[in-house]
Structure 1
Amino acid sequence: MKTNNIKSAGKMLSVLECFSTVDRRLSLADVARRTKLPRSTAHRLILTLKEIGFLEQDHSRDEYRLGIKLFELGSIVLANMDVHRVAKPYVDALSTLSRETVHLCVFDGMKMVFIERGAGGRSGPNNATTTMEASPCHCTGVGKAALAFQSDLVIDRVLGMGLPAYTRNTLTDPDRLREDLASIRQRGYAIDDGEIDIGVRCVAAPIRNTSGHVFAAVSVSGPATRMTHERVQSLAPVVMSHAESISLQLGYSNGDSAMAPVPTTPIT
Structure 2
Amino acid sequence: MNTPLDVLGRCSAVLRALSAREPGGATTTRAAADTGLPRPTVHRLLVGLEREGLVERLPGSAHWVLGAELYLLGRTASARYDVTVYARPYVQQLARLTGESAFFSARQGDETVCLIREDGSFPIRSHVLYEGIRLPLGVASAGLAILAHLPERDTEHFLSRTELTSAFGSAHAQEQLRERLADTRRRGWALNAGHIVEGSWGMGAAVFDSHDRPGWALSLTGVEQRFSGERQDEYGRLLLEAAHQLSQAIRQRGE
Q: Work out whether residues 124 and 223 of structure 2, in 8 Å CA contact, stay in contact via their aligned partners in 1.
A: no
Counterpart in the other structure of 2:144: 144
TM value normalised by structure 2: 0.79
Match of residue 13 from structure 2: 14
Please identify the structure whose Cα radius of gyration is greater: 1
Amino acid at match of 2:139: C
Deviations 1:139-185 (A, max 9, x none): 311110011011344324543231136777x6222122112212211
Contact 2:165 2:173 in 1 (8 A): no
Q: Aligned partners of 1:183, 1:128: CA distance in 2, in Å?
A: 23
Identify the range of structure 1 (43-52 vs 199-208) with the bigger mean alpha-carbon deviation.
43-52
1:243 aligns with 2:227: no
Query: 1:217 corresponds to which residue?
Result: 217
Greater mean deviation of Cα atoms: 187-196 or 75-84: 75-84
Structure showing the higher helix proportion among its residues? 2
Correspondence 1:31-180 to 2 at 5 A: 31=32, 34=35, 36=37, 39=40, 42-57=42-57, 63-69=62-68, 72-73=71-72, 76=75, 81-126=81-126, 131-159=131-159, 160-164=161-165, 171-180=171-180
1:236 and 1:90 mapped to 2: Cα distance? 14
Seen in structure 2, the aligned counterparts of structure 1 residues 92 and 71 have a Cα distance that, compared at 3 Å, is farther
Contact 2:114 2:129 in 1 (8 A): no
Distance 1:128 1:18, change over 3 A: closer
Quick check: 44-53 or 30-39, which moved more? 30-39
Match of 1:25 in 2: 26
Separation of aligned partners in 1, 2:110 and 2:246: 22
Alpha-carbon contact 1:118-1:130 (below 8 Å) kept: no
Q: Contact 1:141–1:203 at 8 Å: present in 2 too?
A: yes
The one-character-per-residue Cα deviations of 1:230-258 (angstroms, maximum 9, x if unpaired) are 31122111110110000111127xxxxxx
Counterpart residue type for residue 141 of structure 1: S
8 Å Cα contact 2:28-2:39 kept in structure 1 = no
Query: Which amino acid letter does the alignment assign opposite residue 27 of structure 1?
Result: T
Structure 2 segments unaligned to the other structure (5+ residues): none
Distance verdict in 2 for CA 1:73–1:99, change over 3 Å: farther
Q: Kindly indicate whether the alpha-carbon contact (under 8 Å) linking 1:103 and 1:118 is maintained by their aligned counterparts in 2.
A: yes
Contact 1:165/1:171 (<8 A) preserved? no
Aligned to 2:208: 208
Structure 2: how far apart are the matches of 1:246 and 1:29? 38
Question: Is the Cα–Cα contact under 8 Å of residues 100 and 220 in structure 2 kept in the other structure?
Answer: yes
Deviations 1:67-113 (A, max 9, x none): 34277358635676452111211111111111111111011121111
Identity over aligned pairs, percent: 22
CA distance in 1, matches of 2:31, 2:121: 41
Cα distance in 2 for partners of 1:135, 1:151 equals: 20
Aligned length: 247
8 A contact 1:114–1:134 mirrored in 2: yes
Secondary structure at the counterpart of residue 123 of structure 1: coil
Gap regions ≥5 residues in structure 1: 253-268
